[in-house]
Amino acid sequence: MFTDVRSKKVIFVAHCILNQNSISDGTAVHPAAFKDIINLFLNNDIGIVQLPCPELCCLGLDRGNIYGADSPVTVENTRIRREMENSDTQQKLKILVDYTMLQIDEYVKHGFEIKGIIGANRSPNCGVESTSDNDVEIDGMGVFMTALHKEITSRGLNIRMTGIKGSDNFAEKLKDFI
């Protein structure tokens, strides 16, 4: 099975890396996407799986605050984090985690190589090395990545995770993921 030309290599990336239109108001750094990252993976024949955007799916495109862009990013991120932690939102988040795990499980079951998961540092949801809380950027994972990581480890899987930020040297940071 799957002996056609496909590479059997995939990488999961935060939704906004492929679609900046999803990101919270005032924080987009590209008109459409991080083209350098996309090209890096495509040039290495790695299929790109776009993770769901937890904030868009759980809180809406405006994150429930039409004045979000008026606040410092980490202040608005902290408000978003609190919204993500309430019980109604947690139920929605679980659906997104399950949807992602379904895909991971299928690729694992059929022997595909999952190169990793690329998140978005500083995000209250998709941060991997850093996130936002208490109005500052702190070490640690965002709400979505924490929940996803918990599911991955509960299955005994070991999938590498890292996060990027607009100012990163992507080629250097992601060289171990290609």
# residues contacting ligand SF4 (CB under 6 A): 13
Crossing angle of helices 87-109 and 73-85, rounded to 10°? 90
Q: What is the DSSP letter of 21?
A: G
Tokens found for residue 115:
């190169």
Task: Out of 16, 37, 46, 117, name the contact with ligand SF4 by CB under 6 A.
Answer: 16
Query: Which of 21, 44 has the CB closer to ligand SF4?
Result: 21
Provide the minimum distance between the beta carbon of 178 and ligand SF4 in the complex, in angstroms, as a whole number: 21
Site string for ligand SF4, 45-84 (x = CB under 6 A): --------xxxx----------------------------
Query: Which of 7, 86 has the CB closer to ligand SF4?
Result: 86
CA atoms within 13 A on the CB side of 20: 13
In contact, 136 and 124? CB cutoff 8 Å:
no
Provide the minimum distance between the beta carbon of 52 and ligand SF4 in the complex, in angstroms, as a whole number: 8
Phi-psi region of 23 (alpha: psi -120 to 50; beta: other; left: phi over 0): beta
Residues numbered 116-135 forming contacts with ligand SF4, rule: CB under 6 A: 120, 123, 125-126
Q: Give the separation between CA 9 and CA 20, rounded to whole angstroms.
A: 24
Residues numbered 29-48 forming contacts with ligand SF4, rule: CB under 6 A: none
Query: Which of 123, 130 has the CB closer to ligand SF4?
Result: 123
Residue 141 as a binder of ligand SF4 (CB under 6 A): the answer is no
Q: Nearest-CA neighbor of 123 among 30, 41, 47, 56?
A: 56
Crossing angle of helices 87-109 and 143-154, rounded to 10°? 40
The alpha carbon of 3 is separated from its chain's Cα centroid by a whole number of angstroms, namely: 30
Contacts with ligand SF4 by CB under 6 A lie at 14-16, 22-23, 53-56, 120, 123, 125-126
